[in-house]
Structure 1
Amino acid sequence: MEFALLHPDPDDPNWLRPVPPSAALAQHLHPIEREIQERRRHSLQLTESFEPFMDISAQGPPLTHAITVLEGVNRINAALDHATTECRTEVLTVQPGGGRNEDQLSKPLERGLSVVHRGVRIRTLYQHTARHSPSTLAYAERIAGDNVEIRTLEELIERLIVFDRTVAFIPAQDDRQVALELRHPGLVEYLVKVFEQLWTRAAPLLEEVKYDPMPQGISGVQRSIAQLLVEGHVDDSIARRLGMNVRTCRAHVAKLSATLGSSSRAQLGYLIARSGILDRNT
Structure 2
Amino acid sequence: MYSRAVRRGRVARRDAEPVPCLLELALLHPDPDDMAWLVPTSPQEVMTRLLRGVYDEVSASQRRVGAAVAAVERYAGLGPATQAGSGAAEGTAIRVLDGLSRIQAAMDAATEACTTEVLTVQPGGIRPEHELTEGLHRALALRGRGVRMRDLYTHVARHGQGLLNYLELMGGSVEARTLDEVIDRLILFDRTVAFIPANADRTLALELRHPALVEYLVTVFERLWRLAIPLTAPLPDTGIEGISHREQSIAALLAEGHQDAVIAERLGISVRTCRAHIARLSETLGAASRTQLGVRIAQVGLDGPRHPADIGSSVTLPGQQSPTPR
Bin for the TM-score computed over the shorter chain = 0.7 to 0.9
Q: 1:125–1:150: 8 Å Cα contact kept in structure 2?
A: yes
Counterpart in 2 of 1:159? Answer: 185
Hey, what does 1:266 align to over in structure 2?
A: 291
Q: CA deviation at 1:245?
A: 1.5
* Structure 2 residue runs without a partner (length 5+): 1-76, 309-326
The reply to whether residue 125 of structure 1 matches residue 152 of structure 2 is yes
SS in 1 for 2:183: coil
Answer with 266-275 or 223-232: which moved more: 266-275
Of 94, 119, 122, which aligns to 2:121? 94
Higher relative contact order, structure no. (Cα contacts within 8 Å, ≥ 6 residues apart) = 1
1:198 shift after superposition: 0.6
**Aligned residues of 2:238 and 2:248 also touching (Cα < 8 A):** no
Runs (4+) off by over 3 Å: none
* C-alpha RMSD over aligned residues: 2.0
Deviation at 1:276, TM superposition (A): 2.3
Distance 1:91 1:109 in 2: 14
* Larger Rg, first or second structure (1 or 2): 1
Given residue 69 of structure 1, which amino acid in structure 2 is its aligned partner? Answer: V
TM-score by length of 2: 0.66
Q: What residue is the counterpart of 1:234 in the other structure?
A: 259
**Residue deviations 1:48-107, cap 9 Å, x none?**
x96xx54xx36x895251111111111111111111111111100000111112112111
Letter of the structure 1 residue corresponding to residue 170 of structure 2: I
| TM-superposed deviation, 1:234 | 1.0
Q: Secondary structure at the match of 1:97?
A: coil
Does the alignment pair 1:195 with 2:221?
Answer: yes
The alignment of Structure 1 onto Structure 2 pairs a total of residues equal to 228
1:175-227 C-alpha deviation (Å, 9 max, x unpaired): 1111111010000000000000011111111221223412x421221111011
Is the 1:94–1:158 Cα contact (8 Å) retained in structure 2?
Answer: yes
Query: CA separation in 2, counterparts of 1:212 and 1:98?
Result: 21
Aligned equivalent of 1:248, options 259, 273, 287: 273
Post-superposition CA distance 1:89-137 (Å, at most 9, x none):
1100000111112112111222111111111111111111011111111
Q: Which amino acid aligns with 2:129?
A: E
What is the 5 A alignment of 1:35-50? Answer: none
Which of the numbers 267, 279, 282 marks the counterpart of 1:257? 282
Q: What TM-score does the superposition give when structure 1 sets the normalisation length?
A: 0.76
1:136 paired with 2:159, answer: no
CA shift, 1:250, in A, is: 1.1
Given residue 155 of structure 2, which amino acid in structure 1 is its aligned partner?
H
Tell me the percent identity. Answer: 55
